Amino acid sequence: MVNKKPRIYIIFAVFILICSIFVLQLVKLQLIDGESYAERSRNSVITKTSVKAPRGDILDRYCSPIVQSETVMTVEIDKSTVSSLNSEIKKLIEIFESTGDSYYDSFPISKNEPYIYDESFLASSSKVTAFNKYLSAKKIDTNLNAEDTARALIKYYKLTALPVDDALKTVAVRYEMESRGSPIYYVFASDISIETATIIKEHSEDLPGIYINVEPVRTYSEEYFASHIIGNIGLISAEEYDSLKSEGYSYNDYIGKDGIEKYAESYLRGTNGYRYTVRDSTGSVVDVIEDIEAIPGNDVILTISKPMQMVTEQSLEKIVEMLKEQNGEEAATSATAIFMDINTAEILSMASYPTYNLSTYNQDFDYYTSSGLKPYVNRAISGLFPPGSTFKTVVSVAALEEGIITPDTIFNCEGIYTYYETFQPSCFSYSEYGITHGEITVKEALMKSCNCFFFDVGRQLTIENITKYGKLLGFGEKTNIDLYGESKGVLASRENREASGEQWQYGETLLAAIGQSDNTVTPLQLVNAIATIANGGTRYKPHIIKAVRNRENGELIMETEIEVVEQIDLKSSTVATIIEGLRLNVVQGGSAYEGFKDFDVVSVGVKTGTAEVSNGLPTALMVGVAPIENPQIAFVVVTENGGTNAASINAELVKDVLVYYFEADTHTDMNSAGELIQ
């Protein structure tokens, strides 16, 4: 029989040994090292930090970067661990003032005497409403003036011991925190300098709950470049967060505010990650518990050519300076130009002047909004202008298609249109210089911009047919380009006039036929209409997004399809007649001859227009196509208050861009992500 006692003794001895080890470890933890661990516990905290996903890049049609993301340092406040919020905000402000770095501040009241509201704030009903809601939540009268409101907020936040100006700086941060901050975390500043980060680190013991983190920010390949197309991004507002939080947005996320940044937000934004860390008393990370990586956004590829866009913008600024030199400083208050592919409606370049710098958008905002320059308006799609004589191309199409005239119909211009006894308008050349056009066809009428010819054609067409063809060519409605802020304009019609309680007068039909009366158009509508005529009657939906690709593997996830909006099926004789009329404008005797007489890079056809406005010099317009034998590209140039003699100067821009397009551009295109084909 086996004796089991030795085995039992061994097991018992092992058990005693294990227990002894545990006891000794407990003694070490609690008695020997207990105070050390307690101190570490008191001075460390587990935090959950959002890891911001970088937005996708914005690229030109050849995948050349226009906008990218890079990582910068930020200052974040963990309100749950801050001992005295007012005190720490004051310390942070002092640090930032010493280094010159900026921090987030959208408080609408000035922080020194006189205490007044910002003009840009008062001009925004949504901002005023949000501020009043903020005040009401604190039981502060919303009818107080700016100074009394400021003092009431100082009292509410218990800052009366400070000088008013200093107190208001802290109030501004508290306002910002409540306007867009989460209940716990608040990003005080982004893209801080090494100097600021170093000072905060050195004073970390006096700034509990203040952490230095990193996050991606937008960087731009060029300053003042394609700003109206790209658009800016900004911190998500309280209203935006309320409507978007279900889509995964957080309080401190950035979001597209306009342009492509806004239109393609769903593609450009990535998916934020999260990091659970242990921080010591200095805010330094001593351990990472869990790290969920952020997923970058997708790249958006535009239809524009970066070099061509640059040529367009630089030339637009050049002609503005030329017009001011020619006609005085009151001339050329704004300008815009668009170049578009006739057979796809791809925007090849689109410029609006004045422009602005996306890199300094926040710093410049107050100045620009109060200056009257209105640089944030994309006049290419939002500006509304009388089309003037450029609209005569539309009336010519209508008359030829309806059989009112043929290409060979002759009209005798006597300078004054005398069909009606009580309304007898005249040609500009007759009223200014006593010149009549004599016997002319529609091609010559387009060349000489004969008002009397189009008065007669318009009368025979009636306003109903003018309106019909205006609608077919896209006037009076949005093109639905892939950008926000587009205007639809007004197409003169009997219905519009009667809807306003007025009657349509016969004389209005004559004025509508030469682009006056109620007609207002966007430059985008003009270029799309001339492209539609030149390609035989197919009106495409203009677009500026070519494709979207996954930035990690380069695969296309969306490619914009060419979309036909209207098929007019114009007679070939109609198209040939209009094109010939455009060509005659650049030969001797044409309105644009001086601008194009020495240009031999490519054949061009244009129609100029001069539209009277209520204030200032007339607006000068030019639409056209090239090459005239087989049109590939359509363009429009509009100089607000450009004057009556602006055609040759507007032509300078057209020539600059066409030289690039037909001589310098490689004319390659994108077949798949990052792949270029001839």
Which of the given ranges, 38-42, 141-145, 202-206, has the highest pLDDT on average? 141-145
Could you give the C-alpha distances from 587 to 393, 583, 584, 598, in angstroms and in order? Answer: 18, 7, 5, 10
pLDDT of residue 667: 56
Domains of the chain: 45-302 (3.90.1310.10), 306-667 (3.40.710.10)
pLDDT of residue 366: 74
- The letter for the amino acid at 665 is D
Q: Does residue 46 surpass a pLDDT of 80?
A: no
What's the token pair of residue 398?
């209508």
Mean pLDDT of 473-496: 96
pLDDT of residue 678: 31
pLDDT band at 40 (very low <50, low <70, confident <90, very high): very low
Which of the given ranges, 56-70, 203-217, 268-282, has the highest pLDDT on average? 56-70
Residue 502 makes CB contacts below 8 A (sequence gap 6+) with: none
What does the DSSP 8-state code read for residue 593?
A: H
* Average pLDDT along the chain: 89
Q: Is the dihedral of CA 353, 359, 364, 366 positive or negative?
A: positive
Report H helices in 205-290: 227-230, 238-244, 259-263, 265-268
pLDDT band at 673 (very low <50, low <70, confident <90, very high): very low
Rounded distance, CA 492 to CA 97, Å? 57
pLDDT band at 361 (very low <50, low <70, confident <90, very high): confident
Percent of the chain clearing pLDDT 70 (strictly above):
88
pLDDT of residue 450: 96
pLDDT tens readout for residues 405-435: 999 999 999 999 999 999 999 998 877 778 8
Are the C-beta atoms of residues 223 and 77 closer than 8 Å to each other? no
pLDDT band at 42 (very low <50, low <70, confident <90, very high): very low
Q: Does residue 599 surpass a pLDDT of 50?
A: yes
Strand (E) or helix (H) holding 276? strand 273-279
Q: Does residue 197 surpass a pLDDT of 80?
A: yes
Rounded distance, CA 378 to CA 365, Å? 16
Could you give the C-alpha distances from 611 to 505, 507, 646, in angstroms and in order? Answer: 21, 18, 12
pLDDT tens readout for residues 140-174: 999 999 999 999 999 999 999 999 999 999 999 99
pLDDT of residue 55: 95
Residue 381 makes CB contacts below 8 A (sequence gap 6+) with: 481, 483, 485, 486, 487, 522, 523, 524
Mean pLDDT of 247-253: 83
What does the DSSP 8-state code read for residue 28?
A: I
Q: Does residue 37 surpass a pLDDT of 50?
A: no
Could you give the C-alpha distances from 583 to 339, 396, 454, 525, 645, in angstroms and in order? Answer: 18, 15, 19, 21, 19
Are the C-beta atoms of residues 347 and 391 closer than 8 Å to each other? no
3-class DSSP state of 280: coil
Are the C-beta atoms of residues 393 and 363 closer than 8 Å to each other? no
Rounded distance, CA 415 to CA 433, Å? 10
pLDDT tens readout for residues 543-592: 999 999 998 889 999 999 999 999 999 999 999 999 999 999 999 999 99
Rounded distance, CA 394 to CA 665, Å? 31
Rounded distance, CA 207 to CA 81, Å? 10
- Looking at the whole model, is its pTM more than 0.95? no
Q: Does residue 20 surpass a pLDDT of 70?
A: no
**Which of the residue ranges 287-301, 481-495, 571-585 would you say has the lowest mean pLDDT?**
287-301
Rounded distance, CA 63 to CA 670, Å? 8
Q: Of 541, 544, 528, 536, which is closest to residue 623 (Cα–Cα)? A: 528
Residue 408: Cβ within 10 Å count: 9
Are the C-beta atoms of residues 386 and 446 closer than 8 Å to each other? no
pLDDT band at 331 (very low <50, low <70, confident <90, very high): very high
pLDDT of residue 80: 77
